[in-house]
Structure 1
């Protein structure tokens, strides 16, 4: 079953990974990243997201620096 919100979600998705199969499928994206001790792209500023370091540690670092 396709997500009924996929098009709306795509407008807000900042994932820069070209072949990501989860773009616009927020539930699948969140489950995937949490399983890998990461957060999805939408939790990071664009410049940090492009590094593909979506770890909890990177997120905490950005919070401590006041960047998020």
Structure 2
């Protein structure tokens, strides 16, 4: 196709920069700071990553869509 090349584009991971704002309290997580892997992992389980929640909400370890929706309805997110 016109305009497409056979080159695979790779994005540079900004892990160190991501870690500054990562709210995940699961410190031994291998995906911590690697947002694309974290999001992929959680979406498979119908969850959102910890960064979508406040510190208090994330500390409950309930990262379900339903928990997030309740927080939105309560105006906490």
Measured against the shorter chain, the TM-score band is over 0.9
1:19 CA drift (Å): 1.1
TM-score, normalised on structure 2? 0.82
Specify the SS of the correspondent of 2:57.
helix
Cα RMSD of the aligned pairs, angstroms, is: 0.9
Quick check: which has more Rg, 1 or 2?
2
Are 1:14 and 2:32 an aligned pair? no
Specify the SS of the correspondent of 1:37.
coil
The residue number in structure 2 matching 1:25 is: 34
TM-score, normalised on structure 1? 0.93
* Residues in 2 aligned to 1:4 and 1:65: alpha-carbon distance in whole angstroms: 34
Aligned residues: 66
Alignment deviations for residues 15-50 of structure 1 (CA, whole Å, 9 cap, x no partner)? 001211100100000000000000000000000101
Are 1:66 and 2:75 an aligned pair? yes
1:4 CA drift (Å): 3.2
The residue number in structure 2 matching 1:37 is: 46
